[in-house]
Amino acid sequence: MTHSRRSVLRRGAGLAVAGTAASLAGCSGAADGGSEGFDSGYAAFFTLNDWANEVAGENASFEDPVDVGQLGHGWTPDGTLAADVAVTDAFVYLDSPEFSWAQDLAATLESDYDSVAVIDGLDGLEGDLLDWDHSHGGEGVGHDEGSGDHAGDDGAHEDDRQHDPHVWVDPVFAADIVDTIATGLGEADPDHADAYAANAEEYAAELDAVDSAFQSIADEATRDVAVLAGHNSFQYLEARYGFRLRSPVGVSPQNEPTQSEIADTIELVDAEGIDVVLYDRFQSPRLAESIVENSDATEAVPVTPAGGTTREWNDAGYGYLEQMTEINVPAFERAFGAQ
């Protein structure tokens, strides 16, 4: 599979918008249009931080403000983060309401600090984002084709829609985001643009391998549905590979399953001969363990939305690739009977 590369010129002025705070204009070499001194930045959460460091290589270092064990969406930064980011050279984020703190920070940087390159990883992917239906227990996914039309008669505007932010779990879209990061860094630091592009291309080859692994699971699956006992962060994998994940919770972490939904899930487990129940490693395994105890399933197996890291994975040096290949691929193989 080949991944198209975006032109460096595409991003235009969106990366470093001129602002009004001249007091910090000299903190970065990017302020005067040069790349001298470009060496640091922040990324909004674990995955983007991992990718930004992979793309930057030896030329810059990125920090993740989110603590180990936490996810970047629904997180609240402390009061010093804006000042910390403002004295670096770049901020990588996703322009999604689920990361409202990052949206606010990006707006502040673009308005007040022209020395910081602001890079939105979702640039160019807006029409590919999935609608986020917060109802319980659904198996299907809604796709926003960017047409401007919306099902229903509530008169909602396109800007009012909620989109599933977990686009990074799809390795194909991940390669697009990595490419966008490389493009943004290359424009902010043109002296190393070729190095950023080369690093992104090398990393994209590893993402291709993840894509191939999931495609093999889909091709070899002996079961057409799996159970995820937790909120579903994997709609993009369902859409990409045709997986069906049944969750008694739905997509919202705020949802609590009803006894009827749990009973229906247990019935599905037994009817489909499901032996592995998946659960989100960043959530409690209790629901999965309860379904296993009350069904013919034999084991609860963790998966990861790859939006954060645990202390164990951090100590082992796991990045995004390791979470996908060491945790998710084997779990999906077992859940869909593709071993």
Number of domains within the chain: 2
For tokens 């040069």, what's the residue? Answer: 34
Give the mean pLDDT of 241-270: 86
* Predicted local distance difference test score (pLDDT) of residue 35: 46
In a domain, 216, yes or no: no
> Is 158's pLDDT higher than 70?
no
Least confident piece of the model among 19-23, 40-44, 59-63: 19-23
**Same domain, yes or no: 16 and 88:** yes
**Same domain, yes or no: 283 and 228:** yes
**Same domain, yes or no: 170 and 247:** no
> Is 138's pLDDT higher than 60?
no
- Specify which residues 246 forms β-bridges with: 227
- Specify which residues 227 forms β-bridges with: 246, 277
* Predicted local distance difference test score (pLDDT) of residue 161: 58
Of the residues 207, 233, 259, the one at which a domain ends: 207
* Predicted local distance difference test score (pLDDT) of residue 222: 96
- DSSP states along 235-285: HHHHHHH---EE-SS-S-TT----HHHHHHHHHHHHHHT--EEEEETTS-S
**Is residue 136 a contact partner of residue 200, using CB atoms and an 8 Å limit?**
no
In a domain, 135, yes or no: no
Encoding tokens for residue 318? 């796991």
**Same domain, yes or no: 195 and 329:** no
**Same domain, yes or no: 203 and 256:** no
Strands 61-63 and 299-303, by their bridges, are unpaired
Look up the CATH number of the domain holding residue 48: 3.40.50.1980
Give the mean pLDDT of 269-293: 95
In a domain, 158, yes or no: no
For tokens 């001969």, what's the residue? Answer: 273
Mean of per-residue pLDDT scores for the chain: 82
159: confidence class by pLDDT, cuts 50, 70, 90: very low
Encoding tokens for residue 135? 């109802």
Rounded CA gap, 69 and 94, in Å? 20
In a domain, 214, yes or no: no
Question: Hey, how many other C-beta atoms are within 10 angstroms of the C-beta on 172?
Answer: 18
* Predicted local distance difference test score (pLDDT) of residue 12: 30
**Same domain, yes or no: 269 and 230:** yes
**Same domain, yes or no: 12 and 105:** yes
In a domain, 328, yes or no: yes
Of the residues 207, 232, 264, the one at which a domain ends: 207
Length of the chain: 339
pTM: 0.82
Of the residues 141, 175, 207, the one at which a domain ends: 207
Domain, as residue range, for 116: 8-129+164-207
**Same domain, yes or no: 190 and 257:** no
**Same domain, yes or no: 185 and 254:** no
In a domain, 257, yes or no: yes
Give the mean pLDDT of 193-200: 98
Give the mean pLDDT of 94-99: 92
In a domain, 151, yes or no: no
**Same domain, yes or no: 125 and 178:** yes
> Is 59's pLDDT higher than 90?
yes
In a domain, 154, yes or no: no
Give the mean pLDDT of 207-225: 97
**Same domain, yes or no: 309 and 191:** no
Least confident piece of the model among 84-88, 97-101, 317-321: 97-101
**Same domain, yes or no: 36 and 87:** yes
